[in-house]
Amino acid sequence: MMDWTDRHCRFFHRLMTRRAMLYTEMVTAPAVVHGPKDRLLGYSGAEHPVALQLGGSDPAELAAAVRLAVPFGYDEINLNVGCPSDRVQSGCFGAVLMERPALVADCVAAMRDASDVPVTVKCRIGVDDQNPEEVLPDFLERVSAAGVTHFVIHARKAWLQGLSPKENREVPPLDYDLVKRMKAAYPQLTICINGGVTSLAQVRDLLAAGLDGVMLGRAAYHDPGSVLIGADALWGDGDGLDAFGVVEAIKPYIAAHLEGGGRLHQITRHMLGLFHGRPGARGWRRVLSEGVAKPGAGLGLLDLALDEVSRAAA
Ligand SMILES: Cc1cc2nc3c(=O)[nH]c(=O)nc-3n(C[C@H](O)[C@H](O)[C@H](O)COP(=O)(O)O)c2cc1C
């Protein structure tokens, strides 16, 4: 998620689930081609499985970005056809491409030709006054004809005129039923659903309804303790770390980051929601956010913040 997640966030999330695929925020193809590769594409091997999400609409440029990404060893490369922001529309990236399925097909064909890494697509059910019942099956058919078999569908339209990106994640109504019907109509495709999922119980229901996967965005960021810890049970995997164990497990990573000249805040900002909804959650957040700016703040701050949680639970 742009401006929210980064490699540190993924490392933190990986401590809670060994199985869930983690996605990078969208990185545009021009940025990859012209920008600093290590900064944009580098990550820790501990993050696997991890998918790189690219934004773009120029097949040759996307293919070039894929070739540059290959040495970084991503497990999947995903094309963004869902992002509604102005910046993205102006470059003809993201959700506006729902109106140009033939171009999306050309893009993914070029991306697939550029490497052996699986290429997937994240899309909406439509944009503006499109009729999702018509455009979504047409989109899936045309893009899958270009060889993509794995789709993540954000189950609401993007309204490209008049709504902010934030509103576009909240205002257009969710239509899970349509996404379920797409899975029934195209059983050979891997169809994952996204949008508005806030609990593992909901994930289980959607999987039981036949969907192949569920992508969580905001809940994974704000409440990872509820939706990432315990997620591996969906694959039949038990005994992961609890939230306290996660804090212990991230300490060596933070220590190495600080030793390399990084700042504590760059990692702890992703950890503020770890105890969301639990006694002491507020104290945890407060100690971390207030203490992080103080000179010399280091790993000890995590222990002080954990004390808040332990005290509240006692
Ligand atoms: C701050 C923010 C940044 C986002 N950036 C991206 C992005 O880079 N790529 C993407 O596919 N979706 C992005 N999204 C959308 C989410 O991936 C997701 O589709 C949306 O929030 C709905 O799912 P949710 O209800 O589980 O959050 C972003 C969402 C937020 C809140």
What was the pLDDT predicted at 309?
97
Provide the 8-state DSSP code for 304. Answer: H
Which whole number is the average pLDDT over 24-35? 96
What's the CA-to-centroid distance between 286 and ligand 1, angstroms? 26
Which amino acid is located at 17 in the chain?
Answer: T
What was the pLDDT predicted at 250?
98
pLDDT at 97 over 80: yes
What was the pLDDT predicted at 238?
83
What's the CA-to-centroid distance between 152 and ligand 1, angstroms? 12
What was the pLDDT predicted at 9?
98
Structure tokens at 193: 């659903």
Q: Which atom of ligand 1 is nearest to the CA of 3?
A: 1
Torsion of CA 31, 34, 39, 40, to 10 degrees: 30
pLDDT at 165 over 80: yes
Which whole number is the average pLDDT over 291-302? 92
CATH superfamily name and code, 7-234:
Aldolase class I (3.20.20.70)
Percent of the chain having pLDDT more than 90?
A: 92
Whether 83 sits among the annotated catalytic residues: the reply is yes
What's the CA-to-centroid distance between 86 and ligand 1, angstroms? 15
Rounded to whole angstroms, the Cα distance separating 92 from 239 reads 45
Rounded to whole angstroms, the Cα distance separating 112 from 99 reads 21
- The candidate with the shortest Cα–Cα distance to 214, out of 206, 222, 223, 225, is 206
pLDDT at 236 over 60: yes
What was the pLDDT predicted at 90?
57
With a CB cutoff of 8 Å and minimum separation 6, the contacts of 259 are none
pLDDT at 240 over 90: yes
What was the pLDDT predicted at 162?
84
Which whole number is the average pLDDT over 272-277? 98
CA–CA distances in Å: residue 96 to residues 55, 85, 90, 92, 241 = 12, 10, 9, 7, 41
- The model's pTM is 0.96
Count Cα neighbours of 171 within 13 Å in the Cβ-side half-sphere: 14
* Burial of residue 63 (number of CB atoms within 10 Å: 0-12, 13-18, 19+): buried
CA–CA distances in Å: residue 229 to residues 73, 130, 195 = 26, 38, 20
- Residue keyed to tokens 């934030």: 166
The rounded mean pLDDT for the chain is 96
What was the pLDDT predicted at 307?
97
What was the pLDDT predicted at 86?
63
Q: In what order do the strands lie in the sheet with 22-28?
A: 22-28, 50-55, 76-81, 119-124, 150-154, 190-194, 213-215
What was the pLDDT predicted at 88?
58
pLDDT at 241 over 90: yes
**Best mutation site among 166, 218, 223 for ligand 1 pocket (most ligand atoms within 8 Å of CB):** 218
Ligand 1 pocket, residue 198 CB under 6 Å: no
- Least confident window among 65-69, 84-88, 160-164, 245-249: 84-88
Ligand 1 atom 12, closest CA? 1
- Strands (E) in the chain, as ranges, are 22-28, 50-55, 76-81, 119-124, 150-154, 190-194, 213-215
Tens digit of each residue's pLDDT (9 = 90 or more) over 196-210: 999 999 999 999 999
- Least confident window among 41-45, 134-138, 161-165, 223-227: 161-165
- Least confident window among 16-20, 65-69, 191-195, 234-238: 234-238
pLDDT at 89 over 60: no
Which whole number is the average pLDDT over 265-292? 97
Provide the 8-state DSSP code for 173. Answer: P
Rounded to whole angstroms, the Cα distance separating 122 from 153 reads 6
At 311, the pLDDT band (50, 70, 90 cuts) reads: very high
Q: Which phi-psi region, left, alpha or beta, contains residue 53 (left: φ > 0; alpha: ψ -120 to 50)?
A: beta
Binding residues for FMN: 53, 122, 154, 194-196, 217-218
- The candidate with the shortest Cα–Cα distance to 297, out of 273, 262, 250, is 262
Domain range summary for the chain, segments of one domain joined by +: 7-234, 243-313
- Residues 271-287, buried b or exposed e (16+ Cβ, 10 A)? bbbbbbeeebbebbbeb
Rounded to whole angstroms, the Cα distance separating 267 from 283 reads 18
What was the pLDDT predicted at 10?
98
| 218 three-state secondary structure | helix
CB 62, CB 79: distance < 8 Å: yes
- Catalytic entry in 83, 107, 123, 192: 83
Percent of the chain having pLDDT more than 70?
A: 98
Ligand 1 pocket, residue 63 CB under 6 Å: no
Which whole number is the average pLDDT over 108-133? 98
